[in-house]
Amino acid sequence: MVEFCFITAAVIVCAIALYLKNFFSTPSIKAKPAILKKNFKKDRVYLYQFKRLKNCPSLSPFCMKIEILCRMYNIPHETVDCTYLRSRNGLLPFIELNGEHIADSSLIEMRLKSHFNIPSLSVDLEAQSVALSKMTDHHLFFLLIRFKTAVNAFYETIIGSIGLPSFLTPVFIPILKATFGKKVYSRCAGAIGEFEWRELDELLHKDLEVVQNSIKGRFIFGDKMTPVDATVFSHLATVYYPFRNHISDVLEKDFPMVLEYCERVRKEVYPNDFTV
């Protein structure tokens, strides 16, 4: 009995010590994983992203943005479709460039600009570009994904992309809604707050007005595409082209100018209708 009590006390002390160690430890990021492309080519970008769709390169605007940047600036690249691979942050996309793992689309964009000498904008335009990109990535994105994940077609697309038999779709849709859908709701609520659908629609219209008023020519800053076009178009394309949802109705009814802009970008970057 005494021995049992001693062992129990020792276990409790160890547990408390481990808890205190973790409590007072400074958070640290995971180490970068080993490079997957061992025989890489110099200055070639290996872009790891979700599996391609037939009518849109990706359901992820962040993956699509990086692919568009590579296409815009003729950066040598290869896309690698991923089902289970993720970056050290647990997300996609990530790239490998000259033997280095680089995660997060914003950091990837910065690295591409510096490594491949992408021309800089003027100070004023750069400020506008950053502001519009941040609004799109950190506010509009959460509005769009709420509407995107509200329709069954979103989950059907995911099920199809991972190769599950179609007869399992009715079984998996409720499961995905209860897991992934709930996770999306929590993430959106934490990022921009909890809103009723009517309120989300009001916020959506406001953000799209900002986008529409920012278009100064064929593209956002005139007749030549810049990185902000890759960001804005990617977010809108991944909710408009894959399947119909509330965003489709809003763009067609209230923002035809934005939709026309999207078509110009699509034809510029994907002249063969989203083919590789």
Q: Which long-range contacts (CB under 8 A, 24 or more apart) does 215-220 make?
A: 215/257, 215/258, 215/261, 218/261, 218/264, 219/261, 219/264, 219/265, 220/129, 220/132, 220/261
Clarify whether residues 156 and 261 are in a common domain: yes
Q: How much is the pLDDT for 250? A: 97
What is the amino acid identity at position 21? Answer: K
Pick from 40-44, 124-128, 179-183, 264-268: least confident: 179-183
Are 106 and 135 contained in the same domain?
Answer: no
Tell whether 144 is covered by a domain.
Answer: yes
End-of-domain residue from the set 116, 139, 173: 116
Residue 139 carries which DSSP code? I
My answer on whether 140 and 236 are in the same domain is yes
Q: Which residue has the higher pLDDT, 202 or 89?
A: 202
Residue 87: predicted pLDDT: 85
Find the domain containing 184 and state its range: 123-270
What three-state secondary structure class fits 113? helix
Return the CATH number at 263. 1.20.1050.10
- Looking at the fold, whether 265 and 143 belong to one and the same domain comes out as yes
Note whether 237 and 216 are same-domain residues. Answer: yes
Give, as one character, the DSSP assignment of residue 34.
Answer: P
Say yes or no to pLDDT of 254 above 90: yes
pLDDT at 167: 78
Q: 3-17, 44-58, 250-264: which has the minimum mean pLDDT?
A: 3-17
Per the structure block, which two tokens stand in for 174? Answer: 């409720």
Phi first, then psi: give them for residue 50, nearest 5 degrees.
-65, 160
Q: Total domain count for the chain?
A: 2
pLDDT tens-digit map of 74-95: 999 999 998 788 888 888 999 9
- Confidence (pLDDT) at 8: 58
Task: Name the pLDDT band for 205 (thresholds 50, 70, 90).
Answer: very high
Tell me if 190 is assigned to some domain: yes
Q: Are both 105 and 132 inside the same structural domain?
A: no
Please say which residue of 116, 135, 164 terminates a domain. 116
Identify the pLDDT of residue 90.
81
Question: Residue 107 is part of a domain; what is its CATH number?
Answer: 3.40.30.10
Which of the pair, 33 or 4, is modelled with greater confidence?
Answer: 33
Residue 20's pLDDT band (cuts 50, 70, 90): low
